[in-house]
Amino acid sequence: MGFFSLLKKGQKYADSWLSHPKLAAIFPESRVIKATKFSQKLMPFIAVFSIVWQQICAKHNDVAFSLAILTALFALCIPFQGLYWLGKRAQTPLPAQSAVKFAQISQQLAQKQVALPPIEKPTYQDLAELLQKADQHLGREFWDEL
């Protein structure tokens, strides 16, 4: 799988994951998504600031300029690291205990006549989509018993 398609899957996974307090206590996704979104907003500013600051303070210093470029590149890579992790995580099959809970939630949704595609080996992306449907159709009592 290509690097950019993995980043795209990571962005899709970040958009589909629910930010619910009970999920945040179980899965690290909420913290990673929050940090990734924050870095997507902040790091371009840091990259530009490091180069502009260098040009103001040490205009004719080549070493300072190269350090500013390295700082800018590092700052721009941080959001990609979060998206890469999320993309890899989205494709990861669920552990056995989570797969059992996935099947239980699927049965609850089937009882409410919610159409679900058949999934043999659920992944974390499938879990995120299932939790969205559960939030829409099962309501507050679902989160209370989870």
Is residue 84 located within the same domain as residue 104? no
pLDDT at residue 67, as a whole number: 93
119/48: higher pLDDT: 48
Would you say 24 and 143 are in contact if contact means Cβ atoms under 8 Å apart? no
Give the pLDDT score at 51.
Answer: 93
Query: Are 87 and 136 part of one and the same domain?
Result: no
CA distance 82 to 125: 16
- Average predicted confidence (pLDDT) for the chain: 91
- pTM of this structure: 0.87
Among residues 51, 73, 91, the one where a domain terminates is: 91
Looking at the structure of the chain, the number of domains it has is 2
- Which tens digits make up the pLDDT trace of 76-102? 999 999 999 999 999 999 999 989 999
* 33 and 83 in a common domain: yes
Q: Round to whole Å and give the CA distance between 36 and 10.
A: 10
Amino acid at 121: K
Residues 98 and 79 in one domain: no
